């Protein structure tokens, strides 16, 4: 889980960008921290760089597919 110390540097957002799930290997639509929806693994990525591929990390059987969700960004629109 992403952590922070100084809340003054963060703003809460209701932007739909944080609700979208992205497939492995697609370009990141926004820069920021992405979290695997199934297992919780987190990565930081620049906008336009490809999200990690399907074989980046493996899930135990039954956990679900790798899907990336934006959890923190400096600009999500």
Q: What is the pLDDT of residues 31-63, one digit of tens each?
A: 999 999 999 999 999 988 999 988 877 888 888
Give, in order, the Cα–Cα distances in Å from 27 to each of 23, 30, 75: 9, 9, 16
pTM of the prediction?
Answer: 0.87
Mean pLDDT of the 7-23 span: 93
Task: Place 1 in a pLDDT band, splitting at 50, 70 and 90.
Answer: confident
> In the chain, pLDDT over 70 holds for what percent of residues?
96
Question: Which of 9-23, 24-38, 62-76 has the weakest average pLDDT?
Answer: 62-76
Beta 32-36 vs 42-45: how paired, if at all?
Answer: antiparallel
Report d(CA 76, CA 36) in Å as an integer: 18
Q: Tokens 């110390």 belong to which residue?
A: 5
The residue among 52, 48, 56 whose CA lies nearest residue 24 is 52
Which pLDDT value is given to residue 75? Answer: 65
The residue among 29, 58, 61, 63 whose CA lies nearest residue 46 is 29
């Amino acid at each position: 889980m992403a952590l922070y110390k100084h809340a003054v540097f963060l703003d809460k957002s209701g932007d739909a960008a944080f609700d979208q799930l992205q497939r492995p290997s697609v370009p990141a639509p926004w820069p920021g921290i992405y979290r695997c929806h199934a297992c919780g693994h987190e990565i930081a990525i620049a906008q336009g760089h490809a999200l990690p591929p399907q074989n980046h990390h493996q899930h135990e059987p039954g956990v679900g597919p790798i899907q990336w969700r934006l959890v923190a960004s400096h600009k999500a629109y």
